[in-house]
Chain A
């Protein structure tokens, strides 16, 4: 039996279902992210686990016990909010103490626990600061310590990094994962940022319009997207229209050029969509690859660690990502180039609103 279970959870506001038939089993100590665009129901689902919203249908269990109707202050579920929600009238220390005092811990235990928490978030020196005297990153760390201090059974994080700038976001991300692994706490993390979800999670739940699109490890979600939505939502994707030449042998044609997929094409019809990840493509450099497409280099976009080449193949524009290097020699814009990729890089789907993506 899983530690946290959601069974057929539905939430309607009026007649609109914001969350529709959400079922998930989270193991103890697991880090699961809910990933999706705004309005996909990820935060509402999280708030139902916290007890701030009541499901219209379905049930939620923690450690085998039904909590669907239990008040939020009796659930033993800690929460970290996007805007920190630290108590402005209290210092960091008193914020962390708050839950412990409510739970009637003894003063000596409280002191020890607060010290432990301040050490965990590397803020031993800042215990006497008020929230308004700290940076956003410090406030969010304090808020994390406050939530963890009472040893909740489940930790919920609602877009905790969205209000922070990029550098801090990345550092805090690593810290959150480290703290989670150190404490072994079962964690649900809501985010719209795929990079966060991919780098943090044991498993990712991709949501759209209140429904689960796919549940899987970051590796599975990225490399074997179950639906076109997941494929296009996670990472960048080149989508090309292709004709089926020989379905059984996995033979396609893009702009008259032959492309061979790893397996037989199961998608019906004579036209399909061919999806290619930019980082799976390479400029032909003498190494023989299974597939090549001839095109014209239309643009070069410099992204720091990555250089993105825009290549025109017939009516399509292909993105090709490669790592930056100090002596990188690139062909000039306008020159003819050929793009190579492995058969396993081909993700083939039906041309019109396909459901099944046949991958490598």
Chain B
């Protein structure tokens, strides 16, 4: 018993070190911007660069669009599979693995080839970038949504709602989605972290995104990239915390609002 517990602790400590030593090293390195003293000058430089905020906001927007588009596409699909077409499950599951097999560079060349000439001249459209991101995020969103639907008694709940006269819209928005909050959050979270740091698609489609900006800064400067890495880490976690807070607040508000 104690031996097993000892092992558990050992692995936990090892895992912790694995994740946090690089982070701590990066952080300490980022404080060495001035010779001889520890200072936040690298951070000041980062904030002083208008490109930082511009690219981060751009990627933020793209992330939000990707989350919305991805969920709109995948939730009804998974719902349909669960309720009506269980036979389609292996097919969709195979599709969901393709983004792991096909490298982003292949994907983006495919997109450019397909959409750079009439009738689909879309390479300059943000829609194409979002579409590409949706493909990259597909496995994560699919798995989260699938897990979320599995965790609730989907058939029972939809049938109960149907027998009470509800249409599919009501069932989706008042019954199914509110009961999948955690799954949807995790889908949003994963998508967000993929899009914020994404490099290949943004570079090849020539968008001023955060990923390319980080790469650029990393090539030209020494301490600022470290500061940037720490900042983007904090920003991402901060935003995820905000999403969680907001959705919890929303759930509470709707519960109270409905209770008269």
Binding-face segment, B11-19, B114-122, B158-166, B184-192: B158-166
The reply to whether the CB of B113 lies closer than 8 angstroms to some CB of chain A is no
Chain A residue with the shortest CB-CB distance to B157: A85
Number of interface residues of B (CB under 8 A): 23
Q: Is the CB of B259 within 8 A of A94?
A: yes
Contact A81 B160 (CB under 8 A): yes
- The contact of A81 among B159, B166, B167, B259, by CB within 8 Å, is B159
CB of B156 within 8 A of chain A? Answer: yes
Q: Which chain B residues numbered 144 to 187 have a C-beta less than 8 Å away from chain A?
A: 152-153, 156-157, 159-167, 170, 174-175, 178-179
Q: Does B1 contact A (CB under 8 A)?
A: no
In the assembled complex, A204 has its CB within 8 A of some CB on chain B = no
Does B166 contact A98, Cβ atoms closer than 8 Å? yes
A65 sits at the interface (CB 8 A): no
B36 within 8 A of A: no
Residues of B within 8 A of A103 (CB): 165
In the assembled complex, A250 has its CB within 8 A of some CB on chain B: no
Contacts of B165 in A (CB 8 A): 73-74, 76, 99, 102-103, 150
Give the chain B neighbours of A91 by CB distance below 8 A.
255, 258-259
Contact B162 A81 (CB under 8 A): no
Residue with the greatest number of chain A CB neighbours at <10 A, chosen from B157, B160, B163, B258: B163
**Whole-angstrom distance between the Cβ of A149 and the nearest chain B Cβ:** 8
- Taking a contact as CB atoms under 8 Å apart, the answer to whether B259 and A79 are in contact is no
A41 interface residue, CB < 8 Å from B?
A: no
The contact of B167 among A73, A78, A152, by CB within 8 Å, is A73
Q: Does B260 sit at the interface, judged by CB under 8 A?
A: yes
Are the C-beta atoms of A87 and B175 separated by less than 8 Å?
yes
Check B259–A85 contact: CB distance below 8 A: no
Q: Report the Cα distance A102→B170, complex, angstroms.
A: 8
Measured CB to CB, the nearest residue on chain B to A104 is B165
A24–B253 CA distance with the chains assembled, in angstroms: 48
Inter-chain CA distance A97–B260, complex, in Å, is 11
Chain A residues near B162 (CB-CB < 8 A):
51-52, 71-73
A87 touches B163 (CB 8 A): no
The interface residues of chain A lying within 8 Å CB-to-CB of B251 are 89
List A contacts of B170 (CB < 8 A).
Answer: 102
Query: What DSSP secondary structure best describes chain B's contact surface?
Result: helix
Q: How far is the CA of A44 from the CA of B147 in the complex (A)?
A: 28
Q: Which chain B residue lies CB-closest to A114? A: B260
The residues of B that contact A93 with a CB separation of less than 8 Å are 259-260
B227-260: which have CB < 8 Å to A?
251, 255, 258-260
A77 & B157 in contact (Cβ 8 Å cutoff): no
CB contacts (< 8 Å) of A88 on chain B: these are 152, 179
Query: How many residue-residue contacts, CB under 8 A, span A and B?
Result: 84
Measured in the bound complex, the distance between the Cα atoms of B164 and A76 in whole Å is 8
| CB closest residue in chain B, given A86 | B160
Tell whether, in the assembled complex, residue A90 and residue B164 are in contact, meaning their CB atoms are under 8 Å apart.
Answer: no
B156 with A85: CB separation less than 8 A? yes
Q: Bound complex: CA of A279 vs CA of B259, how far in Å?
A: 53
Chain B residue numbers with a CB within 8 Å of A77 are: 163
Residues of B87-130 contacting chain A, CB below 8 A? none
- Known contacts: A87-B175, A90-B258, A128-B259. The answer to whether A147 contacts B153 by CB under 8 A is no
Residue A83 is within 8 A (CB to CB) of chain B in the complex: yes
List A contacts of B255 (CB < 8 A). 89-91, 94
- Are B152's CB and A81's CB within 8 A? no
Q: How far is the CA of A146 from the CA of B167 in the complex (A)?
A: 17
Alpha-carbon distance between A102 and B175 when the two chains are bound, in angstroms: 12
B68 to chain A, nearest CB (A): 21
> Do A147 and B163 have beta carbons less than 8 Å apart?
yes
A52 cross-chain contacts in B, Cβ below 8 A? 159, 162
A156: chain B residues within 8 A (beta carbon): 163
CB nearest to A77 among chain B residues? B163
Query: Which residue of chain B has its CB nearest to the CB of A96?
Result: B164
- Tell me, rounded to whole Å, the shortest Cβ–Cβ distance linking A155 to chain B: 10
Give the complex CA separation of A87 and B179 in angstroms. 8
Can you name the residue of chain A whose Cβ is closest to the Cβ of B258? A94
Q: Is the CB of A83 within 8 A of B153?
A: yes
* A172 CA to B45 CA, complexed, in Å: 71
Q: Do residues A73 and B166 form an inter-chain contact, with CB atoms below 8 A?
A: yes
- The distance in angstroms between the C-alpha atoms of A52 and B153, with both chains bound, is 16
Residues of chain B with a CB closer than 8 A to A73's CB: 161-167
| Whole-angstrom distance between the Cβ of A162 and the nearest chain B Cβ | 14
The residue of chain A having its C-beta at the shortest distance from the C-beta of B254 within the complex is A89
In the bound complex, residues from chain B placing their C-beta under 8 Å from that of A87 are: 157, 160-161, 174-175, 179
- With an 8 A cutoff between CB atoms, is A122 at the interface? no
Instruction: State whether B258 touches A79 (Cβ < 8 A).
Output: no
Within the complex, the shortest CB–CB distance from B256 to chain A, in Å, comes to 10
Nearest opposing residue in chain B for A71, CB measure: B162
Does the CB pair A78–B163 fall under 8 Å? Answer: yes
Determine whether A231 belongs to the interface, using a CB cutoff of 8 Å to chain B: no
Which residues from chain B sit less than 8 Å from chain A, CB to CB? 152-153, 156-157, 159-167, 170, 174-175, 178-179, 251, 255, 258-260
Q: Kindly list 14 other residue pairs between chains A and B, CB separation below 8 angstroms, not including A83-B153, A89-B179.
A: A71-B162, A73-B162, A73-B166, A74-B165, A83-B156, A85-B160, A87-B161, A87-B174, A97-B258, A99-B166, A102-B164, A107-B260, A146-B160, A150-B164
Q: Can you list 27 A-B contacts with CB-CB less than 8 angstroms, sorted by A residue number?
A: A52-B159, A52-B162, A72-B159, A73-B161, A73-B166, A74-B165, A76-B165, A78-B163, A79-B163, A81-B156, A83-B153, A83-B156, A85-B153, A87-B174, A87-B179, A88-B179, A89-B179, A89-B251, A91-B255, A93-B259, A98-B164, A99-B166, A102-B164, A111-B260, A146-B164, A147-B164, A150-B164
